[in-house]
Each structure stands twice: as structure tokens, then as C-alpha cells.
Amino acid sequence: MTDSTSGAIGVIGGSGLYEMDGLEQIERVEVETPFGAPSDAFITGVLADQKMIFLPRHGVGHRLLPHEINFRANIWGMKKLGVERIISVSAVGSMKENIEPGRLVFVDQFIDRTKHRPSTFFGDGIVVHVPMADPVSPPLREALARAAGDIPHQNGGTYLCIEGPQFSTRAESLLYRQWGVDVIGMTNMPEARLAREAEIAYATIALATDYDCWHEEEESVTVEAVLAILKANVERAKAVIDAYVKAPREPRCEMSANAARSNMMTPVDRIPADRFRALEPILSPFASR
């Protein structure tokens, strides 16, 4: 393992992606955070001379429901380990005919319909309002889409994040179709919000596993149907990540890199000491006490 974790690429694996292929110098790192335990231990390694940090979002063995995921601990841990870019891999349902099961979507927008998940690192004495108009890093998304090559994919689209763990009713699914969304899932919010607050560039590889229940000619969504196509989708995602890591690195996303420092309303000397310590990985690159 290299001495420095600066510039590391983080991969958060969704359903079916519980490990990464091709890593060398592998270490398992347990990280304690002020927000509790992450989903699992972080797996660090090197791929093509690039430092990588991997985390299975649902834990090894798929133990966590979407609303049980400790998103703050996961992103805080990524930041602490020096991650500058996060590639989120997520299984989703398709909301459009042309996004057939097996197609990848590199989304550029989110609609957040979650209800019970802590969605910010801030508060309790520190006020920061990061912009979320463009929640995905454009340079990172474009680089991932290029890395997809001939793999069937769509560059751009809106991901609707629902609370779950149940799938939608048909009435809900038809309503969401009217909103013009492309895919539906349960895990990318508040993950994307927290990555922006932590000044980490973030992009999603959404893996379409089925048509949501709006598609009445298809069978209703079942776990069995999802698992049937999941394996092939995961291999496609791994191929994209491998090609991306081995390609020249895209320009830094200034929008992500300056999100918190440019939008912190509370003077540094007014931040409570315990809050500053808790947020040290996020604040220390631009603030000191």
C-alpha cells in the first residue's frame, strides 16, 4: 500500500457487488466514526497504481436494508481515508421502455423521496448550505460513460430514490413515470448529499435490473427476478470501473471540491469544539482552530 491515501478513488458497492476484482496490496480497515459504525470494514488496495477504497453498502452478506445504512459513517470514513472521488454502484428499476434490464445509466439528477434518514453532517452549532442543483460530478460522470465503451448504457438521467424497503405500488410507479424519471432505487440519497458536503466528487453507475411495476406486460418486481440479472450487471460495472481507473484521470470537479468551504455560514471560531473535532476530516482541509 502506498504511504498516502491522497487522491484515492472510493467505490461503494450496491446489491451484488460485495468485493472488487484485481486489487493488490489489500488491507481491511476498520474505521470508527462520530456517527457510528459504517456498513462494514473498508477494503483498501491498489489497482493500476491507483489507490482504491471499497465499501459494500449493505455489508458483506447483504445485511442492511436501505434505511438501515449509516450513510454518514460511510461517507465520513471515505473522507477520512483520503477519497476524492466516489463511484456509487446501485441496482435500480427502469422507468422507461428504452432502458431495458441490463443497461447502465450514468445518472446526472436525483429526486429524493426518502423520509427517515439523517441527511447532513452539519447542525448543532455549524451551518453549511451546499448547492445541489447538479448533484453528480460532471467530469466524473463523463469519464465513467467513456469507460463504458460498447456496454449498453445511457449517459444522463434522473434517479428517483424512495425510502423502501418495499417496492412501489403500481399507482406510485405510474405517478413517478409522469415525473419523467429514468430509474428508481433506494440507496443513493442521502449518499450523494453527504458526498457533496464532504467535498467528494460523486457519480453513480445505475444498473437496471427490471422494469418497475408500471410495466404491466412484465411480471411484478420480485427478488428472484432482480437476482437473475444482477450478476451480469455487476460484471459490467466492474468492467467500467476497471477501464476508468486505467484511463487518464479526468479534471478535478471544482463544484464538489469547494462545496462546504464556499458555503459555510458559521465563522470557524464560533463552531463548538466537539463539532469541529467530529467533522475534522471535512473541515481540516480549509479550516483550522
Q: State the catalytic residues.
A: 210, 212
Cα separation, 81 vs 91, whole angstroms = 26
Q: Could you tell me where the DSSP H helices lie in 161-202?
A: 170-178, 191-197
Tell the residue number behind the cell numbers 471540491, with chain if given.
Answer: 257
| Residue 23, Ramachandran bin (φ over 0: left; ψ between -120 and 50: alpha; else beta) | beta
Element (H, E) at 246: helix 223-246
Cα separation, 144 vs 108, whole angstroms = 12
**What is the distance, to the nearest Å, from the Cα of residue 112 to the centroid of all Cα atoms in its chain?**
14
- Residue 247 contacts residue 139 (beta carbons within 8 Å): no
Q: ∠176-196-132 over CA atoms, to 5°?
A: 45
Cα separation, 121 vs 89, whole angstroms = 22
Question: Which residue type occupies 158?
Answer: T
- Residue 87 contacts residue 9 (beta carbons within 8 Å): yes
Element (H, E) at 229: helix 223-246
